[in-house]
Structure 1
C-alpha cells in the first residue's frame, strides 16, 4: 500500500514510504559525513529524485551536514520539479558540498514537464554547471 493522497479522507495522510527514504538518506548522509570528515574540501554532489520535499527530515539530515540544496537558491515561484494533486513541490534535489558552493556554479530547473499534460516525464529536469579552478 502506498502513501495516502494529500487531501484524502485520512488526515494527516499516512506516508509509509518515508521509512525506506529515511533509511536510504541515512546511508547517503553517513557516506557524505565520512567523506567530508576525511577531506573538508571534497567535491561532493548528491543529485536525483529523492522523492521527498526540502522540508522533510531526510533532506534536513543532508543539509545539516553543510550541503546546500540548490533548489533552495532559486526564487520561491521557481522551486518545483513536480506537481502532485495541484501542489508544486521539489522532489528532485541537487546538493553540493561547501567546496563546490564556494566556487562558481549556475543552476536552474527547466520547467518543461510538470506544468503540461503531454510530458516526457512527470519531473522537470535540472541543469547544473560547475566551474573548477
Structure 2
C-alpha cells in the first residue's frame, strides 16, 4: 500500500515556561495540544521553541516536552538547533524537527555557505566610521529522514529574520517608537539583509543536495517572514523565470500552498490582512507524490493588535500549514 506522509510546519510563538508569565504554559497547552493532534503529522517542523534551564543539566526543551505529553509526537524522533560551545539547545527560538520515521542525520548551518556581509550604519548615534558584520541569529536545521521504503527525505527547517527593523543605536525612544523615519528605514534595511542572507545560505544547501543526487527528495519548511513573491522565497525556489536558464528547471522548488484557494491562503493576520509567511517548498521529485495542502487558520488572531498592547494569546499568532503526500 502507498505510504501516507503529512509534513507540517508551525511557529509556536515563543513557547516557554517562565514563572509568573501570562499566559501560563498550562493555559497554552490547553488550546495548543488539540491543534497539534489535529495536524496528524508524520513530520512536524516547529519554530520559536524556547529552552529551559535545569539544575546541573544542559538546557532542554522542557516546555515542548510538556506540550507533547500524551500526544503521538512524544514518541517521535527529535532533533533541534544547539549551541556549538555547550551542545545544548538555545535559550530562545530553537528550530525542532519531530519525525515518526528515523532521523538518520541532522546538521545546522549558519554562515557555513554565506559569510556575514559588512555594513556601516549611517543613522546610528553616535556614528561609526567602520563597517560591522551583519550576522543572522538563527541557523538552518537540516534533517535526513529514512522513509519506510528506504528513500531519504531531506527536511530543511527555517525561521528567517522577521520584518521588524533591527536596532540602530540612538534611534529608538522605546521598544515600539523610533526617533526618525530614516532610522526606522535603515533598521528595516538591515533586517532585510539578514533575511535574504539566510535565504541565500538555504539555496546553497539545496544546490549541494542536488549536486549529490539530482532526484533528491527535499522539503523546505518554516516561517520565512516573507510572502511567496518576495525576494527571500524566490531566492530559495530558484524559478526558471528568474534564472533565465531552463537547464536548472529540475532544481526549482514548488510552493505547496498554491494548491489552497487564495481567499484561504494565509498563516498570519496583520492589521486585518491575511499574510502567507509560512511555507512548504518541495523538489520536483517529491512533487510527484504530492496530494494537497491545508492551513488550520480558523481561529487565528490579529497579531498586530496583540503586538500593539504587548498582550499575548494562549494560541500562536501563526497558523500551521500541512502538505500531504502518497509515496
Superposition TM-score tier, normalisation by shorter sequence: 0.7 to 0.9
Q: Is the CA contact 2:224–2:232 (under 8 Å) kept in the aligned structure 1?
A: no
TM-score of the superposed pair, with normalisation by structure 1: 0.81
1:43-58 superposed matches below 5 A: 43-58=217-232
- What displacement does 1:119 show? 5.3
Q: Is the CA contact 1:113–1:123 (under 8 Å) kept in the aligned structure 2?
A: no
**SS of residue paired to 2:316:** coil
User: What are the ranges of 5 or more consecutive residues in structure 1 without an aligned counterpart?
Assistant: 4-8
**SS of residue paired to 1:48:** strand
Paired with 1:119 and 1:66, the residues of 2 have a C-alpha distance of 38
Paired with 1:119 and 1:126, the residues of 2 have a C-alpha distance of 19
Q: Is the CA contact 1:81–1:111 (under 8 Å) kept in the aligned structure 2?
A: yes
Q: Is the CA contact 1:113–1:122 (under 8 Å) kept in the aligned structure 2?
A: no
- 1:108 alignment partner in structure 2: 294
**SS of residue paired to 1:121:** coil
User: What are the ranges of 5 or more consecutive residues in structure 2 without an aligned counterpart?
Assistant: 1-163, 166-179, 239-250, 307-312
- 2:318 alignment partner in structure 1: 123
Paired with 1:63 and 1:55, the residues of 2 have a C-alpha distance of 10
The 1:119/1:70 distance shift into structure 2, 3 A limit, reads farther
Paired with 1:17 and 1:119, the residues of 2 have a C-alpha distance of 28
- What displacement does 1:37 show? 2.8
User: What's the CA shift string for 1:14-65, capped at 9, x where partnerless?
Assistant: 3232111111111111100111232121110110111111121110012214
Say yes or no: does 1:83 pair with 2:269: yes
Q: Is the CA contact 2:256–2:292 (under 8 Å) kept in the aligned structure 1?
A: no
**SS of residue paired to 1:40:** coil
The 1:55/1:104 distance shift into structure 2, 3 A limit, reads closer
Say yes or no: does 1:20 pair with 2:194: yes
- What displacement does 1:104 show? 3.3
**SS of residue paired to 2:217:** coil
Q: Is the CA contact 2:268–2:277 (under 8 Å) kept in the aligned structure 1?
A: yes
Q: Is the CA contact 1:113–1:121 (under 8 Å) kept in the aligned structure 2?
A: no
Paired with 2:199 and 2:290, the residues of 1 have a C-alpha distance of 27
Of 57-66 and 115-124, the range deviating more from structure 2: 115-124
- 1:94 alignment partner in structure 2: 280
Q: Is the CA contact 2:267–2:297 (under 8 Å) kept in the aligned structure 1?
A: yes
Q: Which has more strand, going by share of residues? A: 2
Which of 200, 203, 206 lines up with 1:32 in the alignment?
A: 206
TM-score of the superposed pair, with normalisation by structure 2: 0.35
Aligned residues: 127
Paired with 2:284 and 2:209, the residues of 1 have a C-alpha distance of 12
Paired with 1:88 and 1:75, the residues of 2 have a C-alpha distance of 13
User: What's the CA shift string for 1:45-104, capped at 9, x where partnerless?
Assistant: 110111111121110012214101212222111111001122211111110111111123
